[in-house]
Amino acid sequence: MTMVPSSFDRPFLFVFAGWCLLAAACASSGNSPVAGGSGGTAGGTGGGAALDAGGGGSASGGASGSGGASAGTGGAGTGGGTVADAAADQGGGTDSAPTGLTGTQMDPGTEGDGTVMQPGPYTRPPEIIGPLPGAPVGTVTDKAIYASKAAYPDRKFRYCIYVPAQYQKGKRAALMVFQDGRHYWPMGDAYMFNVATTFDNLIFRGDMPVTIAVLIDPGTPSGIYTAGGTDNQTYRSPEYDRSNPTYARFLIDEFLADVVLPNYDIVQDPDGWAIAGHSSGGSCAFAAAWNRPEKFHKVLTQNGSFNLIGDAFPGQINTTTPPKPIRAYLNSGTMDMPGWLPANMRMAAALEAKQYHVRFQQGMGTHDPPVAAIAAFPDSLKWLWRGYKLPWYP
C-alpha cells in the first residue's frame, strides 16, 4: 500500500476563485497571501463489520467504525489556512495561531517491511536508559483520573501525558497513545519502556516527529488499576480483548476530546496519530486503529494478544478491500505465552498478503517481561514514523 502526502483534492476553478478572492483582500491591505496549513487527509476506506469474540455486543462499520471521513476540514478557506495561519507562517500573528493542521506523510518504501528475525540477547538500548548528550528533557504531567461518560459509565481511567521539550503552543504536534500506561510512564513497572526518555532522544535525533504521548491505564471503578489481581479479568480484558469499537469510542470521542485536544495543539491528520500497547493492550491498539482509521494510521503492538479475540482480525483483514491505510508493527517470540506467537504470525501473514506496511519482529523473547519488545522499542518507533514530517518544527 502506498502512503502519500496528506492533501485535499478540489476542482481547479474552485481553488482558483478562492485564491483570487484572498489575494484581492490581502492586496487591499498591502500584504501578500501566504498558504497556511493543508487540509486533513482522507480517512480510512471503510470500517467493515467488527467481530466481537468475547461479548460486549457486535460492531458495525458505521460512524465509529468506518473510514472515509476527513481528518481535517480542508477546502479553500478552512484547511487551506486562515489569514491568521498565514501570518503565523511568516512569523507574525499570535502565538496561538497554528502554522498548519496536518503533517506530511511521504511513502516510506518497503525497507524494513515483512518478517524480520530478532535473535537475542536482548539488552536495553541506550535510548531507553537515559538522555543522550544534548537531548532536551520533556515534561510528564502528574497522574490524573478521567471518568468515562458513556462507553464505560462505571469506570475511571488513570493517565499522564508526556510533552516534548520542542513542543510549542500554536505548533501542532503528532500524537501517540499507549494502553497499559504503567508499562510506559517514568518509574513505571518492571517493563520500563520509559516513553519519556525514549521520545526525548528520538525527537532530538530527528528519528520521529515532535510527538505528545498519552499513557493511560485500564479503567476501574476507582480509577486505579491493580496488576496481578482480579482487575485484569473484571475490567482490563473486557475493555482490551475485543474487536468491537467500544474502547476506540471511549478513547477518541470521550477522553481525547475532553482532555487532550482542548489543551494541546495536535495535528488533525491520521498519519500523525499512533497507538500502541503490550499484550492485550497491543491487540486493543490494533482494534482502535482498525475501527477508527480516520483517526489512527499507525499501530505498535508488542506481544499482542490477538488469540484472545478468536483470531477476528486476520479474517477481517483478508476480506476488507481495499486495504485500510494502517501501518502496523508486531513483535512476538518462541518464548511468548502459548498461542501468542502463532496468532501474531497469522496477523502478519494476513497484513502482508494484503500489501499493508507491516513489520513483524520474531525472536525468542518472553511475554513478561517483554525483553525483545523492550530491546526493539526505539527501532520500532523509528520504523513506524518513517516519512512523517511536521514542517513547522526544525
Q: Which domain holds residue 200?
A: 105-389
Number of domains comprising the chain = 1
- Does 43 score more than 50 pLDDT? no
Q: Distance between CA 84 and CA 28 in Å, rounded? A: 16
Going from the C-alpha of 144 to that of each of 68, 178, 204, the distances in angstroms are 34, 15, 28
- Domain assignment of residue 308, yes or no: yes
- Domain assignment of residue 122, yes or no: yes
- Domain assignment of residue 377, yes or no: yes
User: What confidence category does residue 384 fall into, taking pLDDT thresholds of 50, 70 and 90?
Assistant: very high
Three-state DSSP at 5 gives coil
Q: What is the distance, to the nearest Å, from the Cα of residue 202 to the centroid of all Cα atoms in its chain?
A: 16
pTM: 0.77
| Residue 46 CB-density burial (10 A; 0-12 exposed, 13-18 middle, 19+ buried) | middle
- Domain assignment of residue 28, yes or no: no
- Does 128 score more than 60 pLDDT? yes
- Domain assignment of residue 46, yes or no: no
Looking at the chain, which runs of residues are DSSP E strands?
104-105, 114-118, 139-140, 144-147, 156-163, 174-179, 211-216, 273-278, 298-302, 327-335, 357-366, 388-389
- Domain assignment of residue 109, yes or no: yes
- Give the number of other Cβ atoms within 10 Å of residue 344's Cβ: 26
pLDDT of amino acid 61: 34
User: What confidence category does residue 35 fall into, taking pLDDT thresholds of 50, 70 and 90?
Assistant: very low
- Does 354 score more than 50 pLDDT? yes
- Domain assignment of residue 123, yes or no: yes
User: What confidence category does residue 281 fall into, taking pLDDT thresholds of 50, 70 and 90?
Assistant: very high
Q: Are 202 and 239 in contact, with CB atoms under 8 Å apart?
A: no
Contacts of 147 (CB under 8 A, 6+ apart): 155, 156, 157, 223
pLDDT of amino acid 79: 33
User: What confidence category does residue 51 fall into, taking pLDDT thresholds of 50, 70 and 90?
Assistant: very low
Q: What is the pLDDT of residues 155-196, one digit of tens each?
A: 999 999 999 999 999 999 999 999 999 999 987 777 889 999
State the CATH number of the domain containing residue 322: 3.40.50.1820
Going from the C-alpha of 225 to that of each of 71, 158, 159, 340, the distances in angstroms are 32, 8, 11, 24
Q: What is the pLDDT of residues 302-347, one digit of tens each?
A: 999 999 998 899 999 999 999 999 999 999 999 999 999 999 999 9
Closest to 176 in 3D by CA, of 297, 293, 283: 297
Q: Are strands 298-302 and 327-335 parallel, antiparallel or unpaired?
A: parallel
Q: Distance between CA 370 and CA 335 in Å, rounded? A: 10
Cell of 26: 490581502
- Domain assignment of residue 11, yes or no: no
Q: Indicate the average pLDDT of the chain.
A: 81
